[in-house]
Every structure is written in structure tokens, then in C-alpha cells.
Structure 1
Amino acid sequence: MSEQFRKATFAGGCFWCMVKPFDEEDGIEEVISGYTGGTKPNPTYKEVCSETTGHREAVQITYDPEKVDYEDLVDLFWQQIDPTDAGGQFHDRGHSYTTAIYYHDDEQKEIAERSKLKLDESGKFHKPVVTDILPAKAFYLAEDYHQDYHKKNPMHYKMYRKGSGREDYIKGTWG
């Protein structure tokens, strides 16, 4: 990885639905699906779904800070999730589907915390914003069939996004 690129890591429920919005942004070099935040090295999808590893499904973004600001990535993240749901995201339930911003340095931590506070105080939601802001931990690549799922399986991806309730929530909340 070039010195100019930085990492951003977000857990927003099902990682299939978190890749495409970031993948379409200028300044994004790569978006990968994986697992982070837990205790088991190199977990499998099945292990993460069993809720025994402590990991969340997440995306790790490699971006060029000369072309896109971390603050813009955080704003885009908020617009993909229900930040008030402590039990998962949409029809995906359990810790592995809960939301978090994993910061890679003090600057990212400050931006994430400020953004969360601003969102919480905005009056947009009737419940508190519960998304965790945590230090980045080891990130484990998800299995190949999870990578770029929206490109490999576009019809299933669209059906899943709609059927899970995510699509309607985003449209209703963010327009």
C-alpha cells in the first residue's frame, strides 16, 4: 500500500450492503469485506455468525486523503445504517451485525466522536445513537464469495437490500 493511502473501517451490519456505497466514491482505492473486533484469529463466516468470536462484519476501505476526506466517509457511513439499533441492522440480528466505527488514529477518533455527537444532537432520531467508536483491531478478510457481492450477484444483492428493510430505511431517513 502506498504511503499516500489510509484505512477506514466500518461495521454496518451485513457487509454486502456496505461495499457498494463506498466503492462508488472518488478517491476510494479498495473496499474489502471482512471481520474485526473479536478475539479469534482468522474467523470464518460461519464462526462469526455463531456469535462466539466477538467479531462484527465490517468493511475496510483504502482511500486517498487527497481526494476524499475521512469526515466524508463517516458521513456516508451514517447514511447506510440505523445508528440507533443496538441489536443488529434491519433483519440481521446479533452482535456480528451491530454498528461500529473503528478508528486507526487519534484524528479519526476525534472526527468519529464529533460526528456521532452531532448526529445524536440533530434531532433526526427519536432514540440515542448507539454506534460504537472503537480502536481498530486486526481485520480478517472474508471469504472470496463475499467480496464485491453487489457486482457478482447484482439481482440477489438488490433483493436482499430491499428485503432486509435497509433500502426503505435509507430512503425514508436520508431521502
Structure 2
Amino acid sequence: MSEIQDNIGSGNIVQSDVNEFFQRRMKNKLRKALVGSWIILHEDESNIYYGYPRFKGIFSSDRVVEKIYFLKKKELAEKFSIYKNFTGVELRAKILASIDSYRKQKKESSAFLLFSNNWTVVLNEDSIQVQAIVSEENSNTTKSKSKKYTILLNKNDLSLLKIQED
């Protein structure tokens, strides 16, 4: 916290908005040592502070956040109430599970699903909309095929609202 307070007024803390925060957090992937992902650094009564930690150098275990972003906590909580524990890592897992369940309902053969990096995610008023390309690899064949899906999730509890193949 003292590092954040020290940076206030230094130009290293920049105001952000809910959409920017959401988009950055959705880019998160599994990482070690809390580097290379957008994380919440601190919360106070009115603001959320977040940043992108990285190692200070190649052989250093010290972490540094070059720029700290903040946004109004109340606005974030209203528009994206699950912000604390939800990132792109959890979203990808939810999407793959939803597609797998959808495929089983359609009685399609079992397949290993791979999530493409070519995806878009939008935070709507009531939902999270994802357009994703998923590669399906079946153990019975050597070929994989890709399908594009549009998925709508409830933004408060991540329940599946709609899934469709495009």
C-alpha cells in the first residue's frame, strides 16, 4: 500500500474505467509468481488499484509495476460485481465447459477442445458475450476442425444464457 500511496501524484497512477479493467483482466492467462497478469494491487473505500507486475530484470525475483491504474470501486461493483476473483483464466474454463456440455447435448463425439487466442469478450449490461474459435481434436482422427461459437453468460453468476455455433 505504501508504494501505491507513494505513486499518487507522481504520474504513475492513471485513471481507468470498467471496460478497460474488464478487457485487461480477460487477457490474463495462468502465470507463476504473480507476474505477467493484470492483478488488483489494492482496494480502499472508494477505489480499486490494479497493474501488470513483471520481474525487474532477467535474473531478478523483484517485481515491479511500471504503471498503476485506478477506477471507482462503486462503479466497478455495479457493472462487474465478480471482479475480484474472475479473470480470463476462469472465463476460458467456463467457456470450454459450456461448449463441452453443448456438444454432449447434441450427442457429438468426444473431443479434446483447444481454445484459440482469437476471441472477443464484451461486458454487456446483463451479460458477458464471448465469440471464440475452438479447435476440436478427436482421438479417432488425425484432423482437427475449428468451430466458432457465440456464448452469453450471466455476468453475476456466470450461468449459461445462450450458446450458438456460428
Structure scoring higher RCO (CA < 8 A, sep ≥ 6) equals 1
Per the TM superposition, whether the score is higher than 0.5 is: no
Q: What TM-score do the two structures reach when normalised by structure 2?
A: 0.26
User: Quick check: which has more Rg, 1 or 2?
Assistant: 2
Name the structure where strand makes up a greater proportion of residues.
2
Name the structure where helix makes up a greater proportion of residues.
1
